[in-house]
Copies of this chain bind each other. A is one copy, B any other.
Amino acid sequence: MTRDQKAPVCVLGTGLIGGSLLRAAVAAGYPAFGYNRSQSGVAAARADGFDVDDDLPGVLGRAAADDALIVIAVPMPAVDHILASVATFAPDCVLTDVVSVKAPVAAAVHEHGLAARYVGGHPMAGTSESGWAATDPELFRGAVWAVGVDPGTHADPWRRVAALALDCGSVVVPVVAEEHDRAVARISHLPHVLAEALAIAGAGGGALALGLAAGSFRDGTRVAGTAPELVRAICEPNADALLAVLEETLIVLGAARDTLAEDGSLADLTRAGHDARNDYETARRWEITDVRPGDHDWLERLREAGQRGGVITAID
């Protein structure tokens, strides 16, 4: 393989995220192929000219022969089954995933004896749609892609995973599993829970309330349009972190209820909320340029930079 030839990528699961990744990898010049469980998903991908099969052992055997980077792109409940097959048919491949939680995937990877060549991943992109029909090779353009820097991670597989994320148009946020899971509970899983609750409150007002609903309700409930089983597959594996921030939020909302009832005031809530949204709007990514994978203490240094908002935009 020459320097310009990219190593193959094997995507397991070609739904919205995995399918978009397959498209993005092909567009970026990777030889890429995939597996999907459903025949209809396979047919849809093939109709668009992509190399997807429903024979998991066959696909993994090819990945092993080609030394492909394997990407697990199935919902958390299906991860264990997929890992068992990887351990059987392609135990030596570099392995990553795009699952919405990291600690439970890492634990399962460890259990299957696949930890040495594993690097966790999570592109922060999606829509409330699902399935091949919703895939988009540009889905990851401009997004952030969390890539694991947990203790014991090896530099070579890390470079390959980070390079794939960059080649799909994302920037890389280095993060360890537990800190990732606590962060996404706040900015991805709690939004789902609040959107469901807001939708329920709106529909409780019947045709009149839904007929009067405008932008704030539409945007605030958008992700409640996601299939319930998908929301559960995203949120439930992160129950501990989600429970912690949900408790925090119940306290914030309870305090707002109390000040509104007692003083007719939402002053504290609106000031804190506006400041917080301003923190979000003014948050600026900065480029991590002084740490190379394999350097002394590289994992700890990348982790610390990621905590402070640092991202990687290029890799040697």
Contacts and interface: CB of A to CB of B under 8 A. Distances in A.
Given A183-B205, A200-B252, A280 B214 contact: no
A179 B208 contact: yes
Interface residues of A, number: 101
Interface stretch (A21-29, A34-42, A90-98, A262-270): A262-270
Given A252-B197, A308-B207, A191 B212 contact: no
Interface stretch (A44-52, A55-63, A221-229): A221-229
A306 interface: yes
Contacts of A224: 273-274, 276-277
B232 A270 contact: yes
A81 interface: no
B280 A199 contact: yes
A287 to B, nearest CB: 12
Nearest to A235: B266
A156 interface: no
Interface stretch (A8-16, A67-75, A241-249, A292-300): A241-249
Nearest to A278: B225
Nearest to A203: B276
Per assembly, the copies of the chain total 2
Main secondary structure, interface of A, reads helix
B264 A236 contact: yes
A283 B193 CA distance: 22
B190 A201 contact: yes
Nearest to A125: B214
A17 to B, nearest CB: 12
A210 B280 contact: yes
B219 A219 contact: yes
A197 B266 contact: no
A253 interface: yes
A265 B143 CA distance: 29
Interface in A181-217: 182-184, 186-188, 190-217
Contacts of A1: none
A129 to B, nearest CB: 12
A7 interface: no
Contacts of A203: 275-277, 279-280
A216 B223 contact: yes
B193 A266 contact: yes
A65 interface: no
B216 A309 contact: no
Contacts of A260: 236, 239, 242-243, 246
Contact of A214 (B143, B208, B270): B143
Interface in A103-128: 124-127
21 contacts: A143-B214, A146-B212, A183-B205, A186-B204, A187-B217, A191-B216, A195-B277, A196-B269, A196-B273, A204-B248, A207-B283, A207-B308, A213-B280, A215-B223, A219-B222, A221-B273, A221-B277, A225-B281, A229-B270, A236-B265, A246-B257
